[in-house]
Amino acid sequence: MPEIKFSEVMRKRQTLSFEVFPPKTEKGFQNLQTVFDHLKEYRPEYISVTYGAGGSNIGANRKVCSMIRGEGITPMTHFSVVRNRSGAIKEQLNNYLSDGIDHVLALRGDLPNGEKTTLGDFQYASQLVEFIRSTYGDRFEIAVAGMPEGHVENDSMQSDIGYLKLKQDCGADYIMTQLCWDPDAFERWLDAIRRAGVTMPVDVGIMPLLSIKSAVTMALSRNGCVFSHDLARLISKYWIFPDPFDSSPPFEDDQRQQKMDDFRKAGIEYTIKLMERYRTMGISGFHMYALNRWKEVAEILDGCGYARPGSHS
């Protein structure tokens, strides 16, 4: 059993954690070390590390997990079933245990382009949860994804919540949510999963709102998320004509950079207010997508009143 079970901690108090991704270059790893130097000031419970389909970046993933352990912080690895066979999954999980990594986010993962299956032995995250539990007992703590606005491949919110309940029944410990910038939608989902018998703690995924381009891309490319009325008006206010996705000159709007800077500031303020709203719902923790950056994350956390050792609140 893991020395620390975050699902138990979350039932006692609200937690803070971060997500990072494995860099592709040595310079990226050097920059990530700087990020850790700053993020650890907020004393996170854990830092999760993303995982490529079929373990395509597993070497870099394990390296980042090792760096996190070196900072005295608990690492969590993401783990997906895409292009993964059961034998390879067991081998990889054994390696994680030998590295001292016993916290995992069990995912199906994004299907390969043009495919209708995972091209692996398991088709659903619930099957991965069941496999880990049956193979390893309680040696891993298992988090699973929750979709406050429903998975884009599910026909209804009811079926989506049914799959979430199945993950719980298969042995999952707590939920880590996909990004959601609409607190009203999140609150409806939270009420619905509790009525359906999902009792797992909910760790809310927070995506810093930093640019119109990234906001639209992250919300719509795979997640099918909606914008709240307030956020839609904010995006409209700072919209860059003729095309906020086109960064090639010449620009018809000669105030492009100023608008980008102003939206970044307004987006950070929106993220802070969003987290304050989530707090009132009694959520179990905040899991911040750090995007391998620290300055914007620090601005948000400072704005939310998170105190660092030696700081004056």
* 62 burial via Cβ count (<10 Å: 0-12, 13-18, 19+): buried
- CB atoms < 10 A from the CB of 48, how many? 28
**28 Cβ partners below 8 Å, 6+ apart?**
292
The H or E element that residue 257 is part of is helix 256-280
Token pair, residue 237, equals 């206010």
The three-class DSSP label of residue 37 is helix
* 284 burial via Cβ count (<10 Å: 0-12, 13-18, 19+): buried
Q: Is 19 a catalytic residue?
A: yes
The dihedral through the CA atoms of 268, 274, 280, 284 has a sign that is negative
114 residue type, one letter: G
Distance separating the N- and C-terminal Cα atoms of the chain: 37
Are 191 and 150 within 8 A, CB to CB? no
**What's the CA gap between 296 and 275, in Å, rounded?**
14
**What's the CA gap between 126 and 113, in Å, rounded?**
22
**What's the CA gap between 73 and 45, in Å, rounded?**
7
The dihedral through the CA atoms of 295, 220, 206, 49 has a sign that is negative
Q: Which of 3, 19, 130, 187 is catalytic?
A: 19
Look up residue 204 and give its DSSP letter: E
Instruction: Please name every residue paired with 287 in a beta bridge, in sequence order, or none if there are none.
Output: 17, 205
Q: Which residues are catalytic?
A: 19
